[in-house]
Amino acid sequence: MNIIVPVKLVPDLVEELTVDAGGTALDTAWLRLIINEFDDHAIEQAILLKERTGAHVTVVSTNFEGIDDLLYTAAAKGADRLIKLNGDFESGINNHALARALATIIRDLKPDLILTGVQAHNDLDGSIGPLLAEYLGMPYIGYVSGANVSGEKVIVRKEYPAGLIGEMQAILPVLLGIQAAEQPPRYVAISKVRLMMKTMNIEEMDLGALDSTGAPIVNRMFQPEAAERAMMLSENADEAASQLVTIFKELGTL
């Protein structure tokens, strides 16, 4: 079975995010890019399926700063093939453009199953999974937190609110939007990643021309003004605690 995992890098929310001088995009000067958390889960789920069924796992991503480390880490976890996509995305790349370009490349890889993160926090034109599925002519199920392949089918657990699960099955090939892998993404020792750097090869391919139709044009980006910011209590633990006790009394809890 051939599993493809498209992943992407997103801004690390640990850092402060600011808008650039142009006012329509993020300031990239202090931006740290890390793997999209949900794509990390997708890799984990793919590796789990590989461990269970002996599948072949390909991880593919666009070429941004830090991508090599991400790909080698995936290899250290068990990914078989690494592909880096080159192209002109100085000004950023939206999901519609990426999905169209990816579809051309992925079609040639003849996937049985595609796993990708169900969303990324910087998505503005929907998430990549459903778009890619449609361009490839595959059915799509999102918000999946468990998957099992059985013959020509994949059986998934789709998450609904309040902990409800919808168990669905789909005939391969299928694209799944992963919410969570069956176990948290595993840790891989740095020495293993370094070993991969010496032994694995990252293939490079060209994305080709990008067609962004379908994505909105951003007028402006800004940081939300806190309409009403919280009333801040004391910075001293005991004082803050007694202030809270007063608040609880006012609300009738105490």
Partner 1 sequence: MNQDIFVAIEHLRGKVSDISYIMLAATRVLAQGTGGKVVAIVLGHEAQDLARNFNADQVLYADHPLLSDFIPEAYQKILAGIIDEYKPRAVFFGHTTIGMDIVGGISAQLGLPLVSSVRTIETDRKLVSQICGGKIMAECELPEPTALITLVPGGYKPELGQSPQSPPITAISTQMLDGLRIKLNQYIEPETSDVDISKEPLLIAVGRGIQNQDNISLAEDLAQALGGVVCASRPVVDQGWLPISRLVGKSGSTVKPKIFLALGISGAPEHVEAITGSDVIIAVNTDPAAPIFNIAKYGTTVDLFDLVPALTEQVKQTKG
Partner 2 sequence: MSYYTLKSIIALLALLVAVGIFGWRIYQLLWVNLRRGQPSGLFNQWGERIKGLIVFVGAQLRLFRFLIPGTAHFFIFWGFILLSLTILQAIIEGLVSFTNPRFVLPLIGNFGPLALLQDLFALFVIIAVLYDMYIRQLVNPERYKGSHKSQGTMVLMFIFTIMVSLLVMNGIRINLGEDPLHAWRPISTVVGKIFAGLDERTQMVIGESAYWIHLGVVLVFLTELPEGKHFHVVTSTFAVFLRNLAPRGRLPAAPEFDKQVGVSKIEHFQWRQMLDFYTCTECGRCQDVCPAYASGQPLSPKMLMMNLRDHLKEKGSARVILPSTSTILKNPEKSLVGDVITDQVLWACTTCYACDQECPLFIEHITPIVDMRRHLVIEGRMDGMLQGALANLGRYGNSFGQSDRMRAKWTQPIQTKIKDARREAVEYCWFVGDYASYNASLTEITQMTANVFQKIGLDFGILYEGERNAGNDVRRVGEEGLFEMLAEKNMAVLNKSVFHTIITTDPHSYNTLKNEYTGNGKHPVLHYSELLDQLFTSGKLKFSKKLGYKVTYHDPCYLGRYNGVFNAPRNVIAATGCELVEMPRHHDRAFCCGAGGGRIWMEEGLVKERPSEARIHEAVKLDGVQVFVVACPKDIAMYRDAVKTTGNEDRIAVKDLIELIHEAL
In terms of CB distance, is 64 or 89 closer to partner 2? 64
Build a one-symbol-per-residue string for 158-187: x at contacts with partner 1 by CB under 8 A, - elsewhere. Answer: xxxxxxxxxxxxxx--x--x-xx---x---
Please count the CA atoms within 13 angstroms of the CA of 87 that sit on its side-chain side: 20
Does the footprint of partner 1 cover residue 26 (CB under 8 A)?
Answer: yes
* Residue numbers at the binding site for partner 2 (CB under 8 A): 12, 14-15, 30, 32, 34, 184, 186-195
Instruction: Please state the closest distance from residue 178 (CB atom) to partner 2, in A.
Output: 19
In terms of CB distance, is 197 or 214 closer to partner 1? 214
Angstrom distance (rounded) from CA 195 to CA 72: 9
164 binds, options partner 2, partner 1, none, Cβ within 5 to 8 A by partner type: partner 1
Instruction: Please state the closest distance from residue 71 (CB atom) to partner 1, in A.
Output: 24
137 binds, options partner 2, partner 1, none, Cβ within 5 to 8 A by partner type: none
Does the footprint of partner 1 cover residue 105 (CB under 8 A)?
Answer: no
Does the footprint of partner 1 cover residue 190 (CB under 8 A)?
Answer: no
Stretch that binds partner 1, among 66-74, 108-116, 155-163, 193-201 (CB under 8 A): 155-163
Angstrom distance (rounded) from CA 23 to CA 21: 5
Q: Site for partner 1 (CB under 8 A): how many residues?
A: 84
Does the footprint of partner 1 cover residue 150 (CB under 8 A)?
Answer: no
Cα pseudo-dihedral 234, 240, 243, 248, rounded to 10: 130
Task: Give the phi and the psi of residue 145 in degrees, each rounded to 5.
Answer: -125, 25
Angstrom distance (rounded) from CA 194 to CA 128: 30
- φ/ψ region of 110 (left if φ > 0, alpha if ψ in -120 to 50, else beta) reads left
In terms of CB distance, is 48 or 113 closer to partner 2? 48
Beta strand pairing status for 81-86 and 56-62? parallel
Q: How many CB atoms lie within 10 A of CB 247?
A: 13
In terms of CB distance, is 32 or 52 closer to partner 2? 32
Angstrom distance (rounded) from CA 186 to CA 215: 34
